[in-house]
Protein backbone atom coordinates (compact mmCIF):
# COMPACT_ATOMS: atom_id res chain seq x y z
CA UNK A 1 0.00 0.00 0.00
CA UNK A 2 1.24 3.48 -0.83
CA UNK A 3 2.71 5.52 1.98
CA UNK A 4 0.19 8.31 1.37
CA UNK A 5 -2.71 5.89 1.84
CA UNK A 6 -1.26 4.60 5.11
CA UNK A 7 -0.79 8.12 6.43
CA UNK A 8 -4.33 9.03 5.39
CA UNK A 9 -5.79 6.06 7.27
CA UNK A 10 -3.86 6.94 10.43
CA UNK A 11 -4.80 10.62 10.15
CA UNK A 12 -8.49 9.74 9.72
CA UNK A 13 -8.34 7.52 12.81
CA UNK A 14 -6.79 10.37 14.79
CA UNK A 15 -9.37 12.80 13.44
CA UNK A 16 -12.17 10.47 14.53
CA UNK A 17 -10.84 10.67 18.10
CA UNK A 18 -10.85 14.47 17.84
CA UNK A 19 -14.44 14.50 16.57
CA UNK A 20 -15.41 12.30 19.52
CA UNK A 21 -14.47 15.15 21.86
CA UNK A 22 -17.34 17.11 20.36
CA UNK A 23 -19.76 14.40 21.51
CA UNK A 24 -19.09 15.54 25.07
CA UNK A 25 -20.99 18.77 24.30
CA UNK A 26 -23.94 17.06 22.60
CA UNK A 27 -25.95 16.45 25.84
CA UNK A 28 -26.29 20.23 26.18
CA UNK A 29 -28.46 20.21 23.06
CA UNK A 30 -31.09 18.46 25.18
CA UNK A 31 -30.41 19.41 28.81
CA UNK A 32 -29.22 22.52 30.61
CA UNK A 33 -27.19 20.70 33.21
CA UNK A 34 -25.08 17.57 33.22
CA UNK A 35 -25.12 15.32 36.27
CA UNK A 36 -21.84 15.15 38.21
CA UNK A 37 -22.62 11.51 38.96
CA UNK A 38 -22.83 10.72 35.24
CA UNK A 39 -19.71 12.74 34.46
CA UNK A 40 -17.67 10.94 37.16
CA UNK A 41 -18.86 7.63 35.73
CA UNK A 42 -17.67 8.64 32.25
CA UNK A 43 -14.21 9.51 33.61
CA UNK A 44 -14.18 6.09 35.26
CA UNK A 45 -15.11 4.33 32.01
CA UNK A 46 -12.40 6.25 30.15
CA UNK A 47 -9.84 5.34 32.82
CA UNK A 48 -10.72 1.64 32.80
CA UNK A 49 -10.54 1.51 29.01
CA UNK A 50 -7.20 3.30 28.83
CA UNK A 51 -5.51 1.19 31.50
CA UNK A 52 -6.75 -2.07 29.95
CA UNK A 53 -5.72 -1.16 26.40
CA UNK A 54 -2.37 0.21 27.57
CA UNK A 55 -1.39 -2.78 29.69
CA UNK A 56 -2.88 -5.66 27.71
CA UNK A 57 -2.59 -4.03 24.30
CA UNK A 58 0.32 -1.61 23.97
CA UNK A 59 2.65 -3.01 26.64
CA UNK A 60 1.91 -6.61 25.69
CA UNK A 61 2.57 -5.83 22.03
CA UNK A 62 5.82 -4.14 23.00
CA UNK A 63 6.93 -7.25 24.88
CA UNK A 64 6.20 -9.35 21.81
CA UNK A 65 8.59 -7.22 19.76
CA UNK A 66 11.25 -7.02 22.46
CA UNK A 67 14.26 -9.28 22.16
CA UNK A 68 14.92 -12.00 24.71
CA UNK A 69 16.20 -10.79 28.04
CA UNK A 70 15.34 -7.59 29.85
CA UNK A 71 13.00 -5.39 27.71
CA UNK A 72 15.22 -2.31 27.90
CA UNK A 73 13.58 -0.44 25.03
CA UNK A 74 10.08 -1.09 26.37
CA UNK A 75 10.94 0.11 29.87
CA UNK A 76 12.78 3.11 28.43
CA UNK A 77 9.70 3.94 26.38
CA UNK A 78 7.45 3.74 29.43
CA UNK A 79 9.70 6.13 31.36
CA UNK A 80 9.89 8.49 28.37
CA UNK A 81 6.08 8.50 28.10
CA UNK A 82 5.73 9.35 31.79
CA UNK A 83 8.33 12.07 31.42
CA UNK A 84 6.55 13.62 28.42
CA UNK A 85 3.28 13.91 30.32
CA UNK A 86 5.02 15.37 33.37
CA UNK A 87 7.04 17.87 31.34
CA UNK A 88 4.02 18.90 29.29
CA UNK A 89 2.04 19.52 32.49
CA UNK A 90 4.84 21.71 33.81
CA UNK A 91 5.02 23.60 30.50
CA UNK A 92 1.26 24.14 30.50
CA UNK A 93 1.39 25.21 34.13
CA UNK A 94 3.79 28.01 33.24
CA UNK A 95 1.64 29.51 30.47
CA UNK A 96 -0.24 32.73 31.19
CA UNK A 97 -2.50 34.60 28.84
CA UNK A 98 -4.09 37.98 29.49
CA UNK A 99 -7.65 38.04 28.32
CA UNK A 100 -9.02 40.87 26.22
CA UNK A 101 -11.12 43.36 28.14
CA UNK A 102 -14.76 43.66 27.03
CA UNK A 103 -17.62 45.69 28.42
CA UNK A 104 -20.12 43.82 30.54
CA UNK A 105 -23.09 42.59 28.57
CA UNK A 106 -21.32 42.48 25.21
CA UNK A 107 -22.62 40.08 22.60
CA UNK A 108 -20.17 37.74 20.89
CA UNK A 109 -21.11 36.48 17.46
CA UNK A 110 -24.76 36.39 18.41
CA UNK A 111 -24.27 34.42 21.62
CA UNK A 112 -25.50 35.63 24.96
CA UNK A 113 -22.67 36.55 27.23
CA UNK A 114 -22.93 37.92 30.74
CA UNK A 115 -19.64 39.83 30.71
CA UNK A 116 -18.37 38.27 33.90
CA UNK A 117 -15.79 36.04 32.25
CA UNK A 118 -14.47 38.89 30.10
CA UNK A 119 -13.33 41.15 32.92
CA UNK A 120 -9.57 41.71 32.94
CA UNK A 121 -8.14 38.55 34.39
CA UNK A 122 -5.30 36.17 34.03
CA UNK A 123 -6.00 32.80 32.51
CA UNK A 124 -3.61 30.17 33.74
CA UNK A 125 -3.22 26.62 32.56
CA UNK A 126 -3.08 24.45 35.67
CA UNK A 127 -2.05 21.15 34.12
CA UNK A 128 -5.26 19.28 34.94
CA UNK A 129 -7.15 17.89 31.97
CA UNK A 130 -7.13 20.58 29.32
CA UNK A 131 -6.09 23.25 31.77
CA UNK A 132 -9.32 23.66 33.67
CA UNK A 133 -10.46 23.37 37.23
CA UNK A 134 -13.62 24.06 39.19
CA UNK A 135 -12.57 27.70 39.58
CA UNK A 136 -11.20 28.57 36.14
CA UNK A 137 -12.74 27.89 32.72
CA UNK A 138 -10.68 25.96 30.18
CA UNK A 139 -8.28 28.15 28.26
CA UNK A 140 -9.80 27.19 24.91
CA UNK A 141 -13.29 28.05 26.20
CA UNK A 142 -12.24 31.56 27.16
CA UNK A 143 -10.49 32.16 23.85
CA UNK A 144 -13.52 30.95 21.91
CA UNK A 145 -15.63 33.49 23.78
CA UNK A 146 -13.20 36.25 22.84
CA UNK A 147 -12.94 35.16 19.21
CA UNK A 148 -9.25 36.16 19.10
CA UNK A 149 -7.66 34.38 16.11
CA UNK A 150 -4.09 34.92 17.31
CA UNK A 151 -4.87 33.40 20.67
CA UNK A 152 -6.68 30.49 19.03
CA UNK A 153 -3.51 29.69 17.07
CA UNK A 154 -1.43 29.98 20.26
CA UNK A 155 -3.83 27.75 22.18
CA UNK A 156 -3.68 25.16 19.40
CA UNK A 157 0.09 25.07 19.86
CA UNK A 158 -0.30 24.66 23.62
CA UNK A 159 -2.89 21.92 23.22
CA UNK A 160 -0.54 20.11 20.85
CA UNK A 161 1.72 19.50 23.84
CA UNK A 162 -1.20 18.22 25.89
CA UNK A 163 -2.85 16.03 23.24
CA UNK A 164 0.33 14.54 21.79
CA UNK A 165 0.37 11.39 24.02
CA UNK A 166 -3.13 10.39 22.89
CA UNK A 167 -2.14 10.89 19.26
CA UNK A 168 1.03 8.86 19.79
CA UNK A 169 -1.01 5.97 21.22
CA UNK A 170 -3.21 5.91 18.12
CA UNK A 171 -0.26 6.15 15.71
CA UNK A 172 1.79 3.44 17.42
CA UNK A 173 -1.17 1.05 17.43
CA UNK A 174 -1.17 1.16 13.61
CA UNK A 175 2.39 -0.22 13.41
CA UNK A 176 1.17 -3.40 11.68
CA UNK A 177 -1.15 -1.61 9.25
CA UNK A 178 -1.66 -3.63 6.07
CA UNK A 179 -0.25 -6.88 7.47
CA UNK A 180 -2.31 -10.06 7.55
CA UNK A 181 -4.29 -10.92 10.65
CA UNK A 182 -6.02 -7.59 11.13
CA UNK A 183 -9.63 -6.52 10.67
CA UNK A 184 -10.49 -5.96 7.00
CA UNK A 185 -12.05 -2.52 6.52
CA UNK A 186 -12.68 -1.35 2.95
CA UNK A 187 -10.16 -3.88 1.75
CA UNK A 188 -7.44 -2.76 4.15
CA UNK A 189 -6.13 -4.93 7.00
CA UNK A 190 -6.41 -2.76 10.14
CA UNK A 191 -4.63 -4.07 13.27
CA UNK A 192 -7.11 -5.04 15.98
CA UNK A 193 -5.02 -3.06 18.48
CA UNK A 194 -5.51 0.04 16.32
CA UNK A 195 -9.27 -0.49 16.30
CA UNK A 196 -9.33 -0.88 20.09
CA UNK A 197 -7.06 2.13 20.61
CA UNK A 198 -9.06 4.41 18.32
CA UNK A 199 -12.25 3.45 20.17
CA UNK A 200 -10.53 3.85 23.55
CA UNK A 201 -9.17 7.32 22.83
CA UNK A 202 -12.53 8.37 21.36
CA UNK A 203 -14.38 7.28 24.51
CA UNK A 204 -11.73 8.97 26.66
CA UNK A 205 -12.27 12.22 24.75
CA UNK A 206 -16.02 12.37 25.43
CA UNK A 207 -15.81 13.37 29.13
CA UNK A 208 -12.99 15.78 28.25
CA UNK A 209 -15.37 17.42 25.79
CA UNK A 210 -18.03 17.62 28.49
CA UNK A 211 -15.55 19.17 30.93
CA UNK A 212 -14.79 21.84 28.32
CA UNK A 213 -18.45 22.46 27.50
CA UNK A 214 -19.73 22.89 31.08
CA UNK A 215 -18.13 26.31 31.75
CA UNK A 216 -18.85 27.37 28.16
CA UNK A 217 -22.54 26.81 28.85
CA UNK A 218 -22.22 29.19 31.81
CA UNK A 219 -20.49 31.70 29.51
CA UNK A 220 -23.52 31.65 27.21
CA UNK A 221 -21.99 30.12 24.10
CA UNK A 222 -24.22 28.39 21.57
CA UNK A 223 -24.37 24.61 21.42
CA UNK A 224 -22.48 24.37 18.14
CA UNK A 225 -19.69 26.64 19.36
CA UNK A 226 -19.29 24.37 22.39
CA UNK A 227 -19.00 21.39 20.06
CA UNK A 228 -16.48 23.30 17.92
CA UNK A 229 -14.36 24.25 20.91
CA UNK A 230 -14.35 20.67 22.19
CA UNK A 231 -13.20 19.31 18.82
CA UNK A 232 -10.65 22.11 18.51
CA UNK A 233 -9.03 21.01 21.79
CA UNK A 234 -8.20 17.59 20.30
CA UNK A 235 -7.18 18.62 16.78
CA UNK A 236 -3.47 17.94 17.50
CA UNK A 237 -4.23 14.23 18.02
CA UNK A 238 -4.34 13.23 14.32
CA UNK A 239 -1.04 15.06 13.82
CA UNK A 240 0.57 13.19 16.71
CA UNK A 241 -0.85 9.94 15.34
CA UNK A 242 0.78 10.45 11.94
CA UNK A 243 4.15 11.41 13.48
CA UNK A 244 4.17 8.33 15.74
CA UNK A 245 3.13 6.04 12.89
CA UNK A 246 5.93 7.34 10.66
CA UNK A 247 8.43 6.79 13.49
CA UNK A 248 7.47 3.18 14.22
CA UNK A 249 7.19 2.38 10.51
CA UNK A 250 10.63 3.70 9.64
CA UNK A 251 12.37 2.52 12.80
CA UNK A 252 10.97 -0.96 13.41
CA UNK A 253 13.84 -1.73 15.78
CA UNK A 254 12.37 0.83 18.17
CA UNK A 255 8.85 -0.62 18.12
CA UNK A 256 9.11 -1.78 21.78
CA UNK A 257 10.10 1.77 22.72
CA UNK A 258 7.12 3.20 20.82
CA UNK A 259 4.63 0.81 22.42
CA UNK A 260 6.13 1.43 25.87
CA UNK A 261 6.08 5.19 25.32
CA UNK A 262 2.36 5.18 24.48
CA UNK A 263 1.51 2.79 27.34
CA UNK A 264 3.47 4.79 29.92
CA UNK A 265 1.93 8.07 28.84
CA UNK A 266 -1.62 6.70 28.88
CA UNK A 267 -1.41 5.03 32.31
CA UNK A 268 0.28 8.10 33.79
CA UNK A 269 -2.45 10.32 32.32
CA UNK A 270 -5.08 8.14 33.99
CA UNK A 271 -3.30 8.32 37.36
CA UNK A 272 -2.50 12.04 37.32
CA UNK A 273 -5.33 13.57 35.29
CA UNK A 274 -8.38 11.37 34.68
CA UNK A 275 -8.85 10.11 38.23
CA UNK A 276 -8.12 13.47 39.92
CA UNK A 277 -10.51 15.13 37.42
CA UNK A 278 -13.20 12.60 38.29
CA UNK A 279 -12.74 13.10 42.04
CA UNK A 280 -12.83 16.87 41.60
CA UNK A 281 -16.01 16.62 39.55
CA UNK A 282 -17.58 14.38 42.20
CA UNK A 283 -16.51 16.53 45.14
CA UNK A 284 -20.15 17.13 46.15
CA UNK A 285 -21.19 13.49 45.78
CA UNK A 286 -21.17 10.96 48.64
CA UNK A 287 -17.60 9.74 49.22
CA UNK A 288 -16.49 12.22 46.51
CA UNK A 289 -17.96 10.00 43.81
CA UNK A 290 -15.55 7.12 44.37
CA UNK A 291 -18.32 4.56 43.93
CA UNK A 292 -19.32 6.01 40.55
CA UNK A 293 -15.66 6.16 39.56
CA UNK A 294 -15.06 2.49 40.46
CA UNK A 295 -18.24 1.34 38.70
CA UNK A 296 -17.25 3.28 35.60
CA UNK A 297 -13.69 1.93 35.76
CA UNK A 298 -15.01 -1.62 35.97
CA UNK A 299 -17.34 -1.01 33.04
CA UNK A 300 -14.39 0.29 31.00
CA UNK A 301 -12.33 -2.81 31.76
CA UNK A 302 -15.24 -5.12 30.82
CA UNK A 303 -15.80 -3.17 27.58
CA UNK A 304 -12.20 -3.88 26.56
CA UNK A 305 -12.17 -7.57 27.55
CA UNK A 306 -12.10 -8.64 23.87
CA UNK A 307 -8.54 -7.29 23.66
CA UNK A 308 -7.51 -10.00 26.16
CA UNK A 309 -8.79 -12.66 23.79
CA UNK A 310 -6.87 -11.62 20.65
Please count the residues of the chain: 310
Please tell me the distance from the alpha carbon of residue 226 to that of residue 119, in angstroms, as a whole number: 21
Please tell me the distance from the alpha carbon of residue 266 to that of residue 260, in angstroms, as a whole number: 10
What is the pLDDT, as a whole number, of residue 297? 93
52 has a pLDDT exceeding 80: yes
What are the residues facing 123 on neighbouring strands? 97
209 has a pLDDT exceeding 70: yes
Q: What is the mean pLDDT of the chain?
A: 76
| pTM tops 0.85 | no
> What is the number of domains present in the chain?
1
Q: What is the mean pLDDT of residues 217-231?
A: 79
pLDDT one-digit tens code per residue, 127-138: 344 444 445 555
CA-CA distances (angstroms) from residue 37 to 8, 160, 208, 288, 289?
Answer: 38, 30, 15, 10, 7
Please tell me the distance from the alpha carbon of residue 115 to that of residue 101, in angstroms, as a whole number: 10
What is the extent of the structural domain holding 260? Answer: 3-309
Q: What is the mean pLDDT of residues 214-232?
A: 78
Q: Are strands 188-190 and 183-185 parallel, antiparallel or unpaired?
A: antiparallel
CB 90 within 8 A of CB 162: no
Q: Annotate 234-277 with DSSP letters as a single string.
A: TTHHHHHHHHHHHHHHH-GGGHHHHHHHHHHHHHHHIIIIIHHH
Q: Quick one: which H or E segment has residue 62?
A: helix 60-65
Nearest CA among 81, 138, 134, 122 for reference residue 271: 81
49 has a pLDDT exceeding 70: yes
Minimum mean pLDDT range among 70-84, 167-181, 261-275: 167-181
Q: What is the mean pLDDT of residues 155-177?
A: 77
Which of 112-116, 142-146, 273-277 has the largest mean confidence? 273-277
* Eight-class DSSP state of 94: T
What is the pLDDT, as a whole number, of residue 200? 86
pLDDT one-digit tens code per residue, 2-41: 778 889 999 999 999 999 988 888 888 887 766 788 888 8
Please tell me the distance from the alpha carbon of residue 190 to that of residue 175, in angstroms, as a whole number: 10
Please tell me the distance from the alpha carbon of residue 134 to that of residue 303, in angstroms, as a whole number: 30
Q: What is the mean pLDDT of residues 284-290?
A: 86
Helix axes 149-173, 223-233, angle to 10 degrees: 60
Amino acid sequence: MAVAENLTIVFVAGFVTALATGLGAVPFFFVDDFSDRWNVGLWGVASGIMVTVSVFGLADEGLAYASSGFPTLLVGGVLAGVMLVEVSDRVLGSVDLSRTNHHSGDKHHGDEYDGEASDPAEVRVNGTGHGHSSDDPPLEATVFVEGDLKKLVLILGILTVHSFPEGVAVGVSFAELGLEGGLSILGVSIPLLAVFMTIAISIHNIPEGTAIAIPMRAMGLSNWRMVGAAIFSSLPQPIGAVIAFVFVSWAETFLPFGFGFAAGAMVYLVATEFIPEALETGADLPNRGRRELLVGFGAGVVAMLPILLV
